[in-house]
A and B are shown apart, each in its own frame.
Chain A
Amino acid sequence: MRGGWLRIYAITYLVFLYLPVILLPLFAFNDGTVMAFPLKGFTTQWFVQLAGIEALHGALLNSVFIASVTAALSVLLGICAARASTRFRFPFKAPIMGAIMVPLVLPEIIVAVSLLVVVVQVLDLPLSAWTVIAGHTLICTPFAIAILSSAFQGLDQSFEEAAIDLGETRWGAFKNIILPLVSPGIVASFLICFTISLDEFIIAFFLTGAEPTLPVYIWGQLRFPTKIPAVMALGTLMLVASLIILSVAEYYRRRGVARVGGKDSGGFL
């Protein structure tokens, strides 16, 4: 077997990575409110319970709305920036692109408090879903740019020139040639941004108004031991949903790679 010890280490590490994830469905189907072994027996009552919690449904809808708008905005901004950075030279390119990518490494709490300060103290606006969207778009855009840049970069510049040479205007070439070719990247980045926004807690925690997002709602529930099993059930459903979204995103990314005739070189990020 190749890589002997390394392989054993890798498998151990995977166990470490999966440890919390495996517990999620275990406790979601466990017939007991205490999070400990041994398990008490199989039940689906926690999933049934989810259907009856009004506050949860509100939070879920709120989160989906925020995530959709965030993803749409991030992808739009991402297309502008990714195309500009891969196709054109402009003054101060490196500092501008650097500034755009900063939220990727900035501690989220900093993003959260600075937006809070501006919205509440400086502009004196009420907190709402839109303030969360503003913050989420800020942190999602770099991810969208990263995915879209690789899509734009893989694109031979002569595709666009060929289209123009054959009579298209600049906009026509962009619409008919460039967009279809990067569309898999657009779908993939939309889904990634959607997932990130759906899961983001800190910014939402600081910037959310009267309507909590799903993670903020979950955070509130974690204090009450009796509510935990339902939260586990919710988490399980969310994991399944994330995996479906992710698989779709991966499918589109691969199709994109195949489309421009490249070789596949691993997954996202």
Chain B
Amino acid sequence: MVSPTAVYVLLLLAAPLAAVVAFSFWTQDFLTIDRTLTLNNYREAFTDPIYRTLMGRSLMISGVVTVVTVVLAFPIAYFVSFYVDPSRKALWIFLITIPFWTSYLLRVFLWKVILGFNGVFNSGLLSLGIIDEPITFILYNANAVVITLAHAFAPFTILPIYVALEKIDRSLLEASRDLGENRMTTFFRVTLPLAMPGVIAATLIVFIPTIGDYVTPRLVGGPDGLMIANMIQTQFLKLNNAPMGATLAVLAMCAVTAISLIFVFFNRKYLR
């Protein structure tokens, strides 16, 4: 039964991924591909400061986005799971997910409108007299990318944490209180450890895809907010250098996988 799906994935994912890896070891001169295996692309990727900066920045932004999103989302998930009346939980979850059925492109674009020089945010603060002149550090830089991505991935973090919190047997918390812990210590000794699988899932769900995000850095990032995906796109579609693009894609994947594995490993180790 599983075979059609497995075959589909194999053909459309595994084979293409293999092709990308193969490409990363080739070179391209204008339109002809040179199929001799070489590490030149990797050498270039590691030595050219452009690639290093972009890769470093991408990992940095993804990391910050992940932390911000998860930290902001946890209290919401906690609130919905523990303080909202059970009959209204579905409504809250629905409310949280609705904004994400707006076109992704338009959402990002609207953040540009909100954060811009005479955008919603600045004009609002100006008219309230909180600032005298528009603040500029929130558009066309990494901050804007972080804010926008933190917004874009909100439901993907809230939902797994919420599900993990919902699974916690409430009598465990009462047991902890009964055994002499207060609200705070119960949270840290019982609730949080039991919610950890959800937190880990949320972290990975945000961290891995954000590194490959193209639209957000392009629209709100400015020159200092560009990420590796923008360079991959440039290599493939503008510079006609598919092998270099493939190399960057492979490196990005490896970096993300490595960091995710380390993260999961440390969680396993320190949560036992």
Point out residues on A near B: beta carbons under 8 Å. 2-3, 6-7, 9-10, 13-14, 16-21, 23-24, 27, 35-38, 76-78, 80-81, 83-85, 87-88, 90, 93, 96-97, 99-100, 102-103, 105-111, 113-118, 121-122, 134-135, 137-138, 141, 145, 195, 199, 201-202, 205-206, 215, 218-219, 222, 231-232, 235, 238-239, 242-243, 246, 250, 264-269
Contacts and interface: CB of A to CB of B under 8 A. Distances in A.
Given A107-B256, A113-B236, A117-B16, A7 B104 contact: no
B72 interface: yes
Interface of B: 1-6, 8-10, 12-17, 19-20, 23, 33, 72, 75-76, 78-80, 82-83, 89-90, 93-99, 101-107, 109-111, 113-114, 116, 118-120, 123-124, 151, 154-155, 159, 162, 166, 204-205, 208-215, 219, 229, 232-233, 236-237, 242, 245-246, 249, 252-253, 256
A114 B80 contact: no
B103 A215 contact: yes
Contacts, number: 237
A9 B12 contact: no
B180 to A, nearest CB: 24
B99 A17 contact: yes
Contacts of B89: 266
Contacts of B154: 17
Given A77-B4, A103-B13, A109-B249, A267 B212 contact: no
B155 A269 contact: yes
Given A81-B5, A90-B2, A267-B94, 11 more contacts: A6-B83, A21-B102, A36-B118, A76-B4, A80-B2, A107-B209, A141-B5, A199-B101, A201-B104, A202-B214, A222-B105
B65 to A, nearest CB: 13
B198 to A, nearest CB: 13
Majority secondary structure of chain B interface residues (helix, strand, loop or mixed): helix
B250 to A, nearest CB: 9
A118 B151 contact: no
B211 A107 contact: yes
Given A13-B76, A117-B242, A199 B103 contact: yes
Contact of B102 (A20, A38, A81, A205): A20
Contact of B75 (A6, A206, A267): A6
B208 A109 contact: no
A3 B79 contact: yes
Contacts of A9: 75-76, 79
Nearest to B215: A201
B231 to A, nearest CB: 10
A265 B166 CA distance: 9
Given A37-B120, A99-B9, A20 B107 contact: yes
A239 B101 contact: yes
Contact of B110 (A20, A37, A85, A268): A20
17 contacts: A9-B76, A20-B102, A20-B111, A20-B114, A80-B5, A83-B1, A109-B233, A110-B20, A113-B232, A113-B249, A199-B103, A201-B105, A218-B105, A222-B219, A232-B106, A238-B103, A264-B90
